[in-house]
Amino acid sequence: MQRIGVFVCHCGTNIAATVDVKKVVELVRFEPGVVFADDYMYMCSEAGQEKIIAAIKEHDLTGLVICSCSPRMHEKTFRACAEKAGLNPYMVEVANIREQCSWIHKDREEATEKAVILARAAIAKVNLNTPLQEGESPVTKRALIIGGGIAGIQTALDIADAGYEVDIVEREPSIGGRMSQFDKTFPTLDCASCILTPKMVEVNQHPNITLYTYSEVEGVSGYVGNFDVKIRKKARSVDMSACTGCGECQAKCPLGKMGKIPSEFDRGLRTRPAIYMPFAQAVPAVPVIDRENCTYFKTGKCGVCAKICPSKAVNYEQEDEIVTVKYGAIVVATGFDIINLDKFGEYAYNESPDVITSIELERLMNASGPTGGHLERMSDHKQPKDIVFIQCVGSRCDDEKGKPYCSKVCCMYTAKHAMLIKDHWPDTNITVFYIDVRTPGKNFDEFYRRAVEQYHVNYVKGQVGKVIPQPDGSLLVQGVDLLDNKQIMKKTDMVVLAAAVEPNKGVRKIATMLTASIDNNDFLTEAHAKLRPVESPTAGIFLSGMAQGPKDIPETVSQAGAAAVKVVGLLAKDKLKTNPCTAKCDPMFCNGCSTCANVCPYGAITYEDQQVRGPGVNETRRVAVVNNALCQGCGACTSACPSGAMDLQGFSNRQITTEVDSICR
């Protein structure tokens, strides 16, 4: 028989305001196994923990029930406390009487009754608890970063500088991500490539960093400290070690002159050849052949690039290569794109080439962009004298056309665009239609105010209902000035849409492979929104950049550093403690049917022939065996097992039914 102590926490007024804590103590005192019960203002505080330790010693307690907040919050704290007093940490159970009780109920009597029931269930379980021992697993001292934008680059550099090996897997032919498309960056207006290119070069030359560009993650198995990742290196059709990046092939590719293949990097504002580097500063400076468009791959004819390559680097026979690499930690830095604007026909984006997105504007203002940095209308190549910016296109939407969140970066980049245009071409008229101007951040509001006060950018509070292309080639913007209470009909030359950001396509697939959770908008979920913002709830998976939520470059770089520290903290350990709550097979009842292995998401179950001896049985037969290092204790096998042979240690079938029984009592 256990000797159980029950400790009921007030959590200040969080619990005590709704639950009669004293009454809970009085009522649980007589539960089977309970030899001690007490309450305290803050059980997790040092004084509270000392109370627990003292009680363990004084009353020879063998098990604890803590009635407090969610075990997600403080289970670890109380287990450590028990261990300090010489108790096995798995003899502690937490009854959640805060999140699942006091916070969601109003009626004191009902809440108190429920708290008692929850406590009873936990007590019943502890009566069946057995001490469990944590195992150990080794840590592979290498990290994988998925995504080579500024988030991935910064995370990789910080980990590599701390002395650990890092690989970056990037889907595109070059690292650099969205930031490499930008012209200048707010709030200090540094040129994006001036601050990004050196980091790209550093990544390429860092002895601890390996780059897999034009590559994709195809499969992930294993667990924290010991991931096995399958990486597909797509055939570049160019030998990376032979290519000198001279650019001769791109210049001579016959498709380059035909202007048929839109450049992804320039958002379709210019075309590219079939063999190409996305941009001049690409890292690695090695082109790829786009096989879908290349004449050689389509018809077997052409072959110009192979013929003219001075270093004989072009190789049409190259095939995709799959490598499997071991990692201790994985960082998801898959970034963002802007939403497709097909559902916003009222803004005439598909109708008029002079209605563009902000990223297209970045390309049009970039010295290495399609117009050499000269701002012009795509329709007639004339410089616009009047420009209208429309904010919140698809952001803050309640329907399925857009996104419910604020994209966070648009207010600032629009102020930036307005000022840069005014700097170059001071007599340009600029109007910004906005709903709210959101500029929290160091030197951000000052930045926006400068656009108004110094550059006289016309900010109009109100939305645009429709962009109406005119027969003379201009655009009529029909909107509202809410402060003037007037409908506005504004003739303009160019309209720039601040389209909502969204997580990059493909993040869903990656999240599934990693069993990392994502939210309704496909942003990766943090382990704790406030206290563990760069970790996924899945151990060993970390988050960096826009993949986790909308953020600007300064914030992304900060988060990248934070993710790197978390990774380094993990890789610095030689061994990790493993969760002892793993599945266990009782060979007596197992008939080797394979049901459990089929449902196991971690590949932790194998089968072997074992001698099974028991009452009336003595035979050798196939039974399931759980690899404790791989098992994450999810319990899928225990519920799938048709014969009841699988059980989860710490959450055994008996323990769970006892809990349910005591709730229903």
Partner 1 sequence: MKYSYYPGCTLKNKAQDLDVYARRAAVALGFELEEIPEWQCCGGVYPMGSDEIATKLSSVRALNYAKEQGQDLITLCSACHHVLKRVNDDMKNVADISDRANNYMGLDEPYKGETTVVHFLEVLRDRIGFDEIAKKVVNPLTGKKIGAYYGCLVLRPGKILEFDDPEDPKIMEDFIRALGAEPVIYPYRNECCGAYSSLKEGGVSQERTKLIFDSSEGFGADMLITACPLCMYNLNKSEADSKIPVYYFTELLAEALGVKEGNS
Partner 2 sequence: MTKQEIEKKVELIKEISGCDPYKCMKCGKCSGSCPAFNEMDVKPHQFASYIVNGDIESLVSSKSLWKCLTCLACIERCPRSVQPGKLIDAARQLVERERGGDYLHAEDIPELLDDDVPQQLLVSAYRRYRR
What residues line the site for partner 2 (CB under 8 A)?
Answer: 346, 392, 396-399, 401-402, 435, 461-466, 478-480, 482, 485, 487-488
Rounded least distance, CB 484 to partner 2, Å = 11
The interface partner of residue 469, options being partner 2, partner 1, none and the CB cut-off 5 to 8 Å by kind, is partner 1
The interface partner of residue 5, options being partner 1, partner 2, none and the CB cut-off 5 to 8 Å by kind, is none
Residue type, 646: M
Which run of H or E residues covers position 271?
Answer: strand 271-272
The rounded distance, in Å, linking the Cα atoms of 354 and 366 is 17
Residue type, 210: T
Return the ∠ at Cα 496 (arms to 490 and 497), rounded to 5°. 110
**Could you tell me how many residues make up the chain?**
665
* Closest to partner 1 by CB, 296 or 349: 349
Torsion angles phi and psi, residue 585, rounded to 5: -100, 135
Torsion angles phi and psi, residue 488, rounded to 5: -110, 135
The interface partner of residue 463, options being partner 1, partner 2, none and the CB cut-off 5 to 8 Å by kind, is partner 2
The rounded distance, in Å, linking the Cα atoms of 126 and 654 is 11
The interface partner of residue 618, options being partner 1, partner 2, none and the CB cut-off 5 to 8 Å by kind, is none
DSSP three-state, residue 652: coil
* Closest to partner 1 by CB, 249 or 339: 339
The interface partner of residue 392, options being partner 1, partner 2, none and the CB cut-off 5 to 8 Å by kind, is partner 2
The rounded distance, in Å, linking the Cα atoms of 246 and 232 is 26
The interface partner of residue 593, options being partner 1, partner 2, none and the CB cut-off 5 to 8 Å by kind, is none
* Closest to partner 2 by CB, 388 or 624: 388
Residue type, 497: L
Rounded least distance, CB 460 to partner 2, Å = 9
Q: Please give the C-alpha separations between residue 221 and each of 226, 325, 509, 514, 516, in angstroms, as whole numbers.
A: 9, 11, 14, 8, 13
Beta bridge partners of 481: 486
* Closest to partner 2 by CB, 119 or 464: 464
The interface partner of residue 435, options being partner 2, partner 1, none and the CB cut-off 5 to 8 Å by kind, is partner 2
The interface partner of residue 470, options being partner 2, partner 1, none and the CB cut-off 5 to 8 Å by kind, is partner 1
Beta bridge partners of 613: 618
DSSP three-state, residue 234: coil
Q: How many CA atoms lie within 13 A of 284 on its CB side?
A: 24
601 neighbors 652 (Cβ within 8 angstroms): no
Rounded least distance, CB 56 to partner 2, Å = 53
The tokens for 574 are 């030689």
The interface partner of residue 482, options being partner 2, partner 1, none and the CB cut-off 5 to 8 Å by kind, is partner 2
Which residues contribute to the site for partner 1 (CB under 8 A)?
342-346, 348, 350-351, 466-472
Quick one: the chain helix, strand, coil %, rounded to 5?
30, 25, 45
Contacts of 292 (CB under 8 A, 6+ apart): none
The interface partner of residue 57, options being partner 2, partner 1, none and the CB cut-off 5 to 8 Å by kind, is none
The tokens for 319 are 């095939």
* Closest to partner 2 by CB, 285 or 480: 480
The rounded distance, in Å, linking the Cα atoms of 170 and 174 is 7
* Closest to partner 1 by CB, 437 or 477: 477
Rounded least distance, CB 473 to partner 1, Å = 11
Rounded least distance, CB 469 to partner 1, Å = 5
* Closest to partner 2 by CB, 176 or 462: 462
* Closest to partner 1 by CB, 300 or 471: 471
Rounded least distance, CB 352 to partner 1, Å = 9
The rounded distance, in Å, linking the Cα atoms of 617 and 607 is 19
Rounded least distance, CB 348 to partner 2, Å = 13
Alpha helix (H) ranges present in 293-438?
A: 295-299, 304-308, 358-365, 410-424
* Closest to partner 1 by CB, 46 or 342: 342
* Closest to partner 1 by CB, 160 or 388: 388
Radius of gyration of the chain (CA): 31
* Closest to partner 2 by CB, 190 or 484: 484
The DSSP result for 498-543, as a single string, is EEPEEEPTTHHHHHHHHT--B-TTSPBPPSBTTTBTTB-SSTTEEE
Rounded least distance, CB 263 to partner 1, Å = 25
Rounded least distance, CB 346 to partner 1, Å = 5
Rounded least distance, CB 479 to partner 1, Å = 14
Helix axes 150-161, 192-205, angle to 10 degrees: 40
Rounded least distance, CB 342 to partner 1, Å = 8
* Closest to partner 2 by CB, 430 or 464: 464
The interface partner of residue 46, options being partner 1, partner 2, none and the CB cut-off 5 to 8 Å by kind, is none
Rounded least distance, CB 475 to partner 1, Å = 9
The interface partner of residue 398, options being partner 2, partner 1, none and the CB cut-off 5 to 8 Å by kind, is partner 2
For residue 237, give the DSSP letter.
Answer: S
CA end-to-end span of the chain: 21
158 neighbors 206 (Cβ within 8 angstroms): no
